[in-house]
Structure 1
Amino acid sequence: MGAGGFLLIVIAALLLFGPNKLPDLGRAVGRTFREFKEATRDIVEDEPPVNKTEAAPKAVEQPKAQDRRLPE
């Protein structure tokens, strides 16, 4: 979306809501984004910490070169 698209949206908003309602609308949108950002931050912080003392999954051993023959 370029500058022309943004300008078109601003003009449409002015026509729909009028210049007196736009500051209130902007505040409401800003408040909504702030609440959303805080909620996502809370969700990320609520994740349980990873316990590094847990056993790591065992590595799968790769077959040796001599074991990789085709069946006869």
Structure 2
Amino acid sequence: MNKNEFFALLEEILETEPGSLKDDTDLQSVGWDSLADVSFIAAVDNKFGMTLDPNQLSKSQTVQDLLNLVGDKVGS
């Protein structure tokens, strides 16, 4: 998965317009909530076969923080 596909996944979870998210987008400002947490955890498990620590996810404040959680699974 590349970065654009990752952003598209987040936009789908958040039901936002394509291209509306940037690395420094504050998650709370775009409606990130516990349902988004669950959806993101499921999507990461489905796409990458990795289990995220909910405690680490809850500390995420920006899209870049989410990118950091999945690490090298998302290419440029």
When the two structures are superposed, what TM-score results if normalisation uses the length of structure 1? 0.28
Q: Which has the higher contact order (CA 8 A, sep 6+)?
A: 2
